[in-house]
Amino acid sequence: MKPAAGSLLISEADIQRRITEIGAKISEDYKGGSLTVVGILKGSFIFIADLIRRIDPSILVEVEFITASSYGKGTVSSGEVRIEQDLSVPIAGKDVLLVEDIMDSGSTLNAVHKLLTSRGPRSLRIATLLEKESSRRQPVALDYVGFRIENVFVVGYGLDFAQHYRNLKEIRILDAG
Ligand code: IMP
Ligand code: MG
């Protein structure tokens, strides 16, 4: 049987193991506190669902989403970021964790980070499942990184190509052509 989308890059088990580690680290870092987790849609929805369940229940977790898009239908970032849907609560004075599926050029994270910073959170950190090697990188400080990957286009586990393949449990390199 032909594998869906392309060759396997990160297995379901490896993803889950790494998220457990990141969840433990976040639980330690925010011990005794509360946390507003902001997922960047759509790509982060599966990662955020798994991640928040690895955060110790003694931490009060609030979940919010913001919709940003930079890619359109292609596989190369346009560098332009549109905020299509904003948060539903104020974040002033809160400890905020911004959650992204993948950082490529960094323009999405940069734009959203700037926007959220302007609203005066008490703290603002970034978690990304994947960090892609990129030659056009904007400087963004990442606090929690799942995996560093080569400059290939990947799908699965929330990541799409033209809105498809988000439902794969693992991450695959998209077949060219
Ligand atoms: P950046 O703004 O260039 O950092 O691109 C980040 C956004 O582009 C992410 O939020 C993803 O939605 C999308 N993206 C970047 N690389 C990939 C990929 O390999 N597969 C799927 N989506 C990607
Ligand atoms: Mg995205």
Catalytic pick among 14, 50, 86, 104: 104
Residue 81: the pLDDT is 86
* CA dist., res. 5 & res. 154, Å (int): 9
Residue 75: the pLDDT is 64
Contact 129 CB / ligand 1 (< 6 Å) = no
- Residues 49/167/111/52 CA torsion (nearest 10 deg): 10
Mutate to test the pocket of ligand 1, among 10, 46, 101 (most ligand atoms within 8 A of CB): 101
Residues 83-111: pLDDT tens digits? Answer: 999 999 999 999 999 999 999 999 999 99
* CA dist., res. 79 & res. 60, Å (int): 35
Q: How far is CA 93 from CA 27, 102, 122, in A?
A: 19, 27, 4
> Does the pLDDT value for residue 80 go beyond 80?
no
- Contact call for residues 126 and 110 (beta carbons, < 8 A): no
Q: Is residue 175 annotated as a catalytic residue, yes or no?
A: no
Contact 131 CB / ligand 1 (< 6 Å) = no
Q: Which of the residue ranges 31-40, 98-107, 116-125, 131-140 would you say has the lowest mean pLDDT? A: 131-140
Residues 2-15: pLDDT tens digits? Answer: 556 899 999 999 99
CA of 162 to the centre of ligand 1 (A): 12
Residues 52-67: pLDDT tens digits? Answer: 999 999 999 999 999 9
Give every CB contact of residue 117 below 8 A, 6+ residues apart in sequence.
124
Mean pLDDT, the chain, integer: 92
- Residues 54/56/57/58 CA torsion (nearest 10 deg): -170
